[in-house]
Chain A
Amino acid sequence: MRLEEIAAKLGCETLSAVDHDIDVDAVVASDGMSEILAFHRPHALMLTGLTNIQSVRTAVVADVCALIYVRGKRPDAKVLALAGEHGIPVLATPRGMFESCGILYEAGLEGVM
């Protein structure tokens, strides 16, 4: 599924430059960064409610294709700048983690944990 479709389903706001041609087939979702590192699959989409700098560092280490912050949370400018430096698209959805995962699962995306 294209990132553009995912963004529409979750009512996402784009927080940084997003290449909508990104194709997503798996999702990793957690507020625990070590959990994401334990169960990641390269090029998965990452969902988290953690908005600090470590969320982006984890995204870089886990080689995710894009990062969506849930529960309407927004990272600060420094965090967005780091994501931009590494070419990671960043979006934010007002929906919670449970609801976001449910929507994406129903749409056919696979979880990696």
Chain B
Amino acid sequence: MPEELLSRSFDLHSHDFDKAGEISTEIKGMLKELGIDSQVIRRVVVVCFEAEMNVVMYADEGTLTFVLTDEDINIEIADCGPGIADVDQALEEGWSTATDEMREMGFGFGMGLPNIRRNSDSFDLRSKVGVGTTVTSTIRLDGLG
């Protein structure tokens, strides 16, 4: 059984474009200080950043929970929001429901969820229309996933 070394939880707020990405930056600094492998840090931070942007762009509010064990890093992003009607379609690169405003921010080109999945050793997405979405990502510390 992996031993839990660190756990943090962060609140995410809808439409807070200016602050989106602050949590990912904080997590990056934290992992650097702990001496985690730089490739693992990059993968974790891409997952967290894309997840932050997704909540800011699409949901009403959400929580990012980050757990470091002696084997891996688990990230869960749970939001209250519109949910995703077709999860398979949402995971296709290039498919997006983004508005022009979101695209002007540099996001919403249908790469967010695929980026999260690509950088995860284990990935899960559960969604209920009108309720919300939960994404879980696990990244192994040994890079052997």
A residues contacting B by CB (< 8 A) are 31-35, 37-38, 40, 42, 48, 50, 52-55, 57-58, 60-63, 86
Contacts and interface: CB of A to CB of B under 8 A. Distances in A.
A-side binding surface: helix, strand, loop or mixed? Answer: helix
Contact of B112 (A31, A34, A50, A58): A34
Interface in B72-122: 105-107, 109, 111-112, 114-115, 118
B107 A34 contact: yes
Contacts of A54: 17, 20-21, 53, 105-107
A50 B25 CA distance: 19
A21 to B, nearest CB: 21
B21 A57 contact: yes
Interface stretch (B3-11, B43-51, B126-134, B137-145): B43-51
Contacts of A63: 38, 42
Contact of B46 (A31, A53, A61): A61
Size category of the binding interface on chain B: 20 to 34
Given A42-B42, A54-B21, A61-B49, A35 B109 contact: yes
B24 interface: yes
Contacts of B21: 53-54, 57-58, 60-61
A24 B106 CA distance: 24
Interface string B14-48: 00011011101100100000000010001001100
B109 A52 contact: no
Q: Which of B20, B24, B25 has the most CB of A within 10 A?
A: B25
B112 A52 contact: no
Contact of A52 (B28, B42, B105, B115): B105
Contacts of A32: 106-107, 109, 111
26 contacts: A32-B106, A32-B107, A32-B109, A33-B105, A33-B107, A34-B50, A34-B53, A34-B109, A34-B111, A37-B111, A38-B115, A48-B106, A53-B17, A53-B18, A53-B21, A54-B17, A54-B20, A54-B106, A57-B49, A58-B21, A58-B49, A61-B24, A61-B28, A61-B49, A62-B42, A63-B42
